[in-house]
Amino acid sequence: MCRCTNRVRGTRPRPHGYEPIGSERRVGRPRQRDPAEADGMAGGAREVLTLQLGHFAGFVGAHWWNQQDAALCAPSEADAPPAELCPDVLYRAGRTPHGRETYTPRLILMDLKGSLSSLKQEGGLYGDAQLDAAIAWQGKLTTHKEELCPKNPYLQDLRSAEGVLSSDGIWRVKSIPNGKGPPPLATATAPKPLIPTESSIRVWSDFLRVHLHPRSICVIQKYNHDGEAGRLEAFGQGESILKEPRYLEELEDRLHFYVEECDFLQGFQILCDLHNGFSGVGAKATELLQDEYSGRGIITWGLLPGPYSLREPQKNIYRLLNTAFGLVHMSAHSSLVCPLSLGRSLGLRPEPPVAFPHLDYDATLPFHCAAVLATTLDTVTVPYRLRSSPVSMAHLADLLNFSGKKVVMAAATIPFPLVPGQSLPDALVQLGGPTAWTPLSACGDPCGMRCFAQSVVLRGVDRACHTSRLAPGMPLPSPLHACSTGEDVLAQYLQQQEPSVRSSAHLLLAPCKVAPPYPHLFSPSLGQPVESIPVLGALCSSSALSRTLGDLARDLSTLDVRRWASFLDAGVEQADVEEALEELGSLAQCYRGGDGLAD
C-alpha cells in the first residue's frame, strides 16, 4: 500500500513513525534543546532547516524535494518496518486556516523577481494572501491585475490528477482507495501522465511537485531574473541585500518561525549559487546563522551550473570572482563547505563536463545538471537524516573538517553498477577504488589524489545481494567475499582502498527515486522505465582540493580587477580581493602533504 493516499503534495497523512507537533501556529516558544540531548533520545527527529539561495539552487532544490516526496509516497507493506530515513528531519507538520493537516518542507527559499513563473509566492495550500488582505480591508478597493504566466502543461496535468481548488479556497482532493484496488483511471485506456520536456522547463517551479509553506519563498524585488538590466551579478551586491533592513528582517522572521517550533534542531543545510551574486547572499546568511545559532551544524553546498564559454568574458570573470569570494567567506562561517559542479575546474580555462558510464545528460541544461547533483545530495546527506543511529551534522563535519580542512569534495557513482544476479562483493571488486567514482566538486582527474577522511553512503542494494553467493568450498575471489554482512563488505572495501583514512560508511536498502519529472538520463541497458536506482556517494577531505583551490587562487592573481570596475562598484574593494587571494592560498595549503591525521 501507499503511505500517501487521499492527499496532494503538501497535504499528506502522517508518515509512519510521525508524532503530531501541533497546528500551524504553536502556542508559546518551545525550548531549543542542545542537539547533543537528542543523540540519546529515541524517536526524536533532529530537525534540519534548508535554505535555497539562487536560481540554480532552485533547480537542484526542486529535484531534491521531488525525490523526498517520491520516497514519502513509496509503496510499502502494511507490516513493513519504519523507513530508514526520517522525513521529519526535513519536513514540518502544520494546519491550514481551514483545519487541513499539511506536511511541507522546512525551507526558506530566496530568488529574484520574475523567477517563479506561475508559482505564487505564498504557495497554493493556504489560500491567496492578497485576497485575504482585500477581504479584511473595509475601505474602497482598486484592483490591478498582472497578466498570469502560463502554467507548465506537466503541472497542469499533475494538479488535475490530484484535485481542484474550490471557490471557498479549500483544495478538494480526488478520492484514491486506501490500498484497495487501483486508483481511479488506472485502466488499460488510462492516459499516460505527462512527462516534462526539456523545452518546457524554463524555471525550477515548472517541475516542482511539492507544495511549499507560505513562509518559504522570499523574492528579492530589487533584482531581475530575466533581461540584461538589474541583474544580481556580483558578490558585493549579494552581501548588500542582507545589509538592508527589509530583507534582513524578512530572513530573520522566517528563521525564527521555523527554528522556534523545532525541538531538536541539529542545524542548517544551505544550497547556494556560487557563480553569481547569491554567493554574497550565502556569505551573509552563514555569518548570520553562526552568530544567532552558535553550536548548530551549518553545511553549505556551493552550486555551479554546467560548462561556461570564453565568448562571455565578463560573465566568466564574475563567475571566478564570485566563486572565490563565496568559498572564502562561507567556509569561514560554515561547519563544512562542499562545491558541487559537473565541471572539472573552477578556473578560467573551460574543460569538458564529467562523464558517467550509464548517464547521458546535456550539461548545458540546468534541468539535467541539477538532477545529477540532487541525486548526489540525496545520498551524501543520508547520515544526518537516518531514523536509527543518525550522525549529526556537527559530528559529520567534525569527521571531515579537522586541521582547517573545512572544504570537502563530493564524488558519486550514478547509478551504482550492480547487475542482476551479482553480489555486492562482486560489484565492488569490479568497480575498483575511489578513483572510479566520478568527482563532482570541480577537482579534475582524481588519479593520484590522497584522501584524509571520508563519509561514504551506498543505497539501493537489496539485502539478498549484500554478501557473496559462492557455494561452500569455492575459492574466495577477494576478502570481501568472506564478509558476513553488507555493512562489513562496505567497511572492508573502504579499508582495502584507503587503509589509513578515517571513514564512516552507511549501507541502505532504500534507493534514490528518479521517477518523472526527473529527466530520462539513463542508458538503455538499464531497461525502461527507470524509477529508482542504487547510488554510491561520498564526501571526502582530499588532496585534490589543494589543486582546485590553488588553481582558483592562481587565476584570481592574474586578474587586473581594476578592469572590472563594475565588480568593485558593487561593494568589493581591491584590498578585499587581495585578502580573498591570501585566504584561498591558506585553504589550499591545508590539503598539501603530511599525515592527514596529524598535520
CA distance 139 to 141: 6
Higher-confidence residue: 22 or 398? Answer: 398
In a domain, 483, yes or no: no
Residue 549 amino acid letter:
L
Rounded to an integer, the average pLDDT of 448-456 is 91
Residue % of the chain over a pLDDT of 70:
79
Per-residue pLDDT, 307: 77
pLDDT at position 68 is 97
Give me the residue label for grid cell 561452500.
472
Q: What is the dihedral of CA 520, 521, 526, 527, to 10 degrees?
A: 20
Residue 144: the pLDDT is 53
The answer as to whether 298 is a domain residue is: yes
Which range, of 59-63, 76-80, 113-117, averages the lowest pLDDT? 76-80
Q: Would you place residue 19 in the very low, low, confident or very high pLDDT band (cuts 50, 70, 90)?
A: very low
Q: Rounded to whole angstroms, what are the CA distances from 431 to 36, 493, 503, 537, 586?
A: 38, 11, 19, 14, 35
Residue type at 187 in one-letter notation: T
- How far is residue 122 from each of residues 109, 283, 597, measured CA to CA in Å? 12, 26, 48
Between residues 137 and 558, which one has the greater pLDDT? 558
Helices 313-333 & 544-557 angle (0-180, nearest 10): 130
- Given this model, what pLDDT does residue 567 score? 86
Q: Among 175-189, 425-439, 524-538, where is mean pLDDT lowest?
A: 175-189
Q: Is 522 left (phi over 0), alpha (psi -120 to 50) or beta?
A: beta
Assess if residue 273 is contained within a domain: yes
Q: Does the residue 338 lie in any domain?
A: yes
| 87 within a domain of the structure (yes/no) | yes
Does some domain include residue 277? yes
Mean of all residue pLDDT scores within the chain: 83
Answer whether residue 540 shows pLDDT above 60. yes
Bridge partners for 218 per DSSP: 110
User: Which has the higher per-residue pLDDT, 579 or 226?
Assistant: 579
Which residues, other chains included, contact 88 with Cβ-Cβ below 8 Å and sequence gap of 6+?
A: 15, 17, 18, 45, 47
pLDDT tens column, 96-151: 888 889 999 999 999 999 999 878 888 777 765 544 444 445 566 565 555 556 66
319 assigned to some structural domain: yes
The residue among 399, 400, 383 whose CA lies nearest residue 391 is 383
CB neighbours of residue 78 within 10 Å: 6
Q: Which residue would you say has higher pLDDT here, 405 or 372?
A: 372
Residue 297: pLDDT band (50, 70, 90) is: very high
Domain count, the chain: 1
pLDDT at 478 over 60: yes
The stretch 213-229 carries a mean pLDDT of 91
Burial class (CB in 10 A: 0-12, 13-18, 19+), 84: middle
Q: For residue 208, what are the domain limits?
A: 47-72+83-121+193-409+544-554
Q: What pTM was estimated for this model as a whole?
A: 0.87
The CATH number of residue 381's host domain is 3.40.50.1440
Residue 370 CA to residue 86 CA, distance in Å, equals 24
Give the least confident one: 95-99, 323-327, 497-501.
95-99
Report d(CA 143, CA 139) in Å as an integer.
Answer: 13
Return the pLDDT at 314: 86
